[in-house]
Copies of this chain bind each other. A is one copy, B any other.
Amino acid sequence: MKEMLHHRVVEVQEALLSKNKAFSRQNRAVFDEAGCRVINLLSSPGAGKTTLLERTLADLAQRIRVAVIVGDLATDNDARRMGGYGAPVVQITTSDICHLDAAMVGKALEEIPRPLPQLLFIENVGNLVCPAAFDLGEHDRVALLSVTEGEDKPLKYPTVFRTANLVLLTKWDLAEPAGFDKEAALRNLSAAAPFATVLPVSARTGYGMDAWYEWLRERLKGEDVNGDAQQRSS
């Protein structure tokens, strides 16, 4: 009985991931056709995804065409926070679903005005586990680790960090009061995310934001970093 249930769970998970793979391919084809670079942001709840994007929209939305798709279990708070910067923002409310999937993104994409923007951010549900398994059709994956979460998180939540092209160490202005051990964090990141670029940022003070924008500019040229996006899509 227990074995049968386990077998059914595995079967349904495989069917879900296979269906997701098909939708992610469709999304990626649409993005590539439109020349739209897509960045999937993953982190714990409260690591600062929305604050980072607010500042990024304020700084970039006048210069490049950008849009945001944002996922949450409940509320449209984040979409409201990111409104008003001249960039389209579409909210996905997942109810009890702990991650975005490619079909949800495909549907939200219909609400983004054509032609598609040069840059599309997808702010995933705040969760360091479930979103990692779902390719949304993105070109790049950015994992945020706030300095208040502790240096050990890359080891404890390995998949999110292993599949990231870039790790942003957020809330850098709190590193000192939080007693953040940068050396330990970098050691853990080089074990868990050996191919990822690591940048410290503070969206509040502006520290490190230029390096983040420079990283984005390189992505807009269509360069792939360390091949992780391809590995995920293969």
| Contact mask for chain A residues 128-153; partner B; CB cutoff 8 A; 1 contact, 0 none | 11100100000000000010111011
Whether a CB of chain B sits under 8 angstroms from the CB of A227 is: no
A174–B171 CA distance with the chains assembled, in angstroms: 12
Known: A157-B73, A174-B178. A98 touches B98 (CB 8 A): yes
Give the size of the chain A interface in residues (CB under 8 angstroms).
43
Among A9-17, A30-38, A56-64, A109-117, the one that faces the other chain is A9-17
Q: Which residue of B lies closest to A152 (CB)?
A: B77
A206–B125 CA distance with the chains assembled, in angstroms: 32
A186–B106 CA distance with the chains assembled, in angstroms: 37
Whether a CB of chain B sits under 8 angstroms from the CB of A118 is: no
Whether a CB of chain B sits under 8 angstroms from the CB of A19 is: yes
Assess whether A15 is in contact with B19, with CB atoms less than 8 Å apart. Answer: no
Known: A146-B46, A148-B148. A155 touches B98 (CB 8 A): no
10 A-B pairs within 8 Å (CB atoms) are namely A5-B12, A44-B44, A77-B152, A98-B130, A126-B128, A126-B157, A127-B127, A130-B130, A174-B177, A174-B178
